[in-house]
Amino acid sequence: SVQQAKNSMSLLGIRTAILSVTAPGPKVYEGDIDKGRMLARKLNKYSADLVNSDPEKFGLFASLPPLLDAEGAVNEIEYAH
């Protein structure tokens, strides 16, 4: 849970955690552009909500749909900005 993460951060002296989804992330939908875009957006919205709820504790690296979907990647970069 988020509270457990904050507790662990406190115990370890970590002031800020950067949220980042590891591979494969949205790339798992490389053959389905709509699903890749939808997953990237859901991940970014969830992460942004965490960051906005406690910006001193959390930052994020945005998730992108598969990079073969250049239009979707650009749209998600603009959204995450």
What are 31's strand-pairing partners? none
Average pLDDT on 23-37 reads: 79
Q: Reply yes or no on whether the pLDDT at 30 is more than 90.
A: no
* 64, 77 Cβ separation under 8 angstroms: yes
Q: Band the pLDDT of 41: cuts 50, 70, 90.
A: very high
The mean pLDDT value of the chain amounts to: 90
Of 39 and 23, more confident: 39
Per-residue pLDDT at 21? 86
Per-residue pLDDT at 81? 80
Q: Band the pLDDT of 77: cuts 50, 70, 90.
A: very high
